[in-house]
Amino acid sequence: MTAPMGTERRPPDAALGNDLVMRASDVSVEYAGPRPTRAVRDVSLELRRGEVLGIVGESGCGKSTLAYALTRMLRPPARMTGGVIEYFDRDGSAVDLGSLGGEELRAFRWEKISMVFQSAMNALNPVTGIGSQMEDVFRTHRPGMDRSARRARCAELLEMVGIDPRRLRSYPHELSGGMRQRVVIAMALALEPQIVVMDEPTTALDVLVQREILDEIERLRAQLGFSVVFITHDLALLLEISDRLAVMYAGRFVEYAPAEQVAGAARHPYTRGLLRSFPDLRGERREMRGVPGSPPDLRHTLTGCPFAPRCESVFEPCHTVAPRLLAPAGSWPVACHLHDRRFAVAQTDGDGR
C-alpha cells in the first residue's frame, strides 16, 4: 500500500459539510507481476451518510479490487499505486486511511467500516458455533464487555437480521446459505460501522432468498443509518437499491449517476448495453443480448477508449484519445467522447445520448 502514510487527522472540507462519510480521490491499484495488472485506474468517489452507492460492471473490471482498496484490505501482489481515501467521522474529523497502521487499522475496519463478501458465508468456521464466532468480534474489539452482555448483544443481532436467537448454538452447516449470509451481515453490523462494503453479497443465493436479504439490508440501513457500497455485476438489482451508481469498465468509472435516472437516460454506450442485458422489469421478456465481446486485458496498455472495440457508437477519436470522466452542464459524469464538447458529435446526434 503506497497511499501517503502519516497524514494527520484534519477537519473536512468546509464546503462538503458533514454529509460525506468517505471520499476516494484518484485511487489506482496494481497487481505486481511480469506484466502488472492495472486493476483500478484513477477512481474517485464520494459516499454520503446513509446512501447506497452501487458499483456495477462485468467480471474482471476491478470492482472487488476497489472494494479491497476502500477497506484497506489489499494484500500483495496488489498495492495501491496512487490516490487518497478519506473517511469522515460523525464529529466531522477526517482520517486518511493510508495513515492508519496496525491496531488502529484493525479497529477501524470493524468499528467504522466493515465488509461482506459473496463467499463470506462459506468463510464461517465449520467447527465453531455461530454464537461463539459472533462473540469473537466483541472479545476482540470490546474486551471490557462481559460474557452475558456479549451473548445478549449477539442474540439481539441475530434477531435483527431475522434469525431466531436460539440459533446461536447452531453450527454453520445447520443453517441455510441465506441464513449464513444473514449471520455474516449481523457480524458486519456488530460494532455499528458507518460504512458497509458489500461485494456480491447475494449472488450465491437463489432469487427468493436474495430478495429477502436485500429487503433486510434496506430495512437495516433505514433503521441504523449506515452507508453502503454495493458491488455487483447485476445492474437491474442496483437500479432498485442504489441512490447513485457507478458503472465500471476496465478499471475506471465510465458513468456515475443518480440511479433513478440511469434506467431511462443512460449516457454511456456500455451502460446502455448493460441495461439491455436483462429482461424488462415489467415482465416483458427481451432478448438477453448483453454486450458482445469481452473487456480488455488489464495487463496491456490501453490506447484510446477501452470500450471502443465493443462500442456500437464508436467514432474516430475513440481509437486514439482516452475519454475523461466529464460532467456536461446539468448532467452527471460520463467518460465518453459522444458527450465531450471537444468532439462535436454529441451536439448533433439527436437520440438523447
- Give residues in contact with ligand ADP (CB under 6 A): 31, 37, 39, 57, 59-65, 77, 298
Q: Which is nearer to ligand ADP, 138 or 249 (CB)?
A: 249
Q: Provide the minimum distance between the beta carbon of 119 and ligand ADP in the complex, in angstroms, as a whole number.
A: 12
Q: Provide the minimum distance between the beta carbon of 115 and ligand ADP in the complex, in angstroms, as a whole number.
A: 13
Q: Which is nearer to ligand ADP, 39 or 179 (CB)?
A: 39
Quote helix, strand, coil % in the chain, to nearest 5.
Answer: 35, 20, 45
Q: Provide the minimum distance between the beta carbon of 76 and ligand ADP in the complex, in angstroms, as a whole number.
A: 9
Chain centroid to Cα 196, Å, comes to 9
Cα(293)–Cα(303) distance, rounded to whole angstroms? 18
Q: Which amino acid is at 107?
A: A
Residue 103: which residues within 8 A CB-CB, separation 6 or more? none
Q: Which is nearer to ligand ADP, 35 or 169 (CB)?
A: 35
Q: Provide the minimum distance between the beta carbon of 240 and ligand ADP in the complex, in angstroms, as a whole number.
A: 20
Q: Please give the torsion angle defined by the CA atoms of residues 46, 241, 258 and 343, in that order, rounded to the nearest 10 degrees.
A: 90
Q: Where are the alpha helices (DSSP H) in the chain?
A: 63-70, 102-111, 130-141, 147-160, 177-189, 207-224, 235-241, 259-265, 269-275, 345-348
Contact at 8 Å (CB) between 44 and 139? no
Cell numbers at 90, concatenated: 460523525
Q: Which is nearer to ligand ADP, 59 or 331 (CB)?
A: 59
Bridge-based pairing of strands 227-232 and 52-56 is: parallel
For the chain, the distance separating the N- and C-terminal CA atoms, rounded to the nearest angstrom, is 39
Category of 10 on φ-ψ map: left (φ > 0), alpha (ψ -120 to 50) or beta: beta
Q: Provide the minimum distance between the beta carbon of 28 and ligand ADP in the complex, in angstroms, as a whole number.
A: 12
Q: Partners of 27 in the beta sheet? A: 43
Q: Is 346 helix (H, G, I), strand (E, B) or coil?
A: helix
Q: Provide the minimum distance between the beta carbon of 308 and ligand ADP in the complex, in angstroms, as a whole number.
A: 18
Q: Provide the minimum distance between the beta carbon of 3 and ligand ADP in the complex, in angstroms, as a whole number.
A: 18
Q: Which is nearer to ligand ADP, 64 or 133 (CB)?
A: 64
Q: Provide the minimum distance between the beta carbon of 122 and ligand ADP in the complex, in angstroms, as a whole number.
A: 17
Q: Which is nearer to ligand ADP, 30 or 135 (CB)?
A: 30
Q: Which is nearer to ligand ADP, 59 or 93 (CB)?
A: 59
Q: Which is nearer to ligand ADP, 55 or 318 (CB)?
A: 55
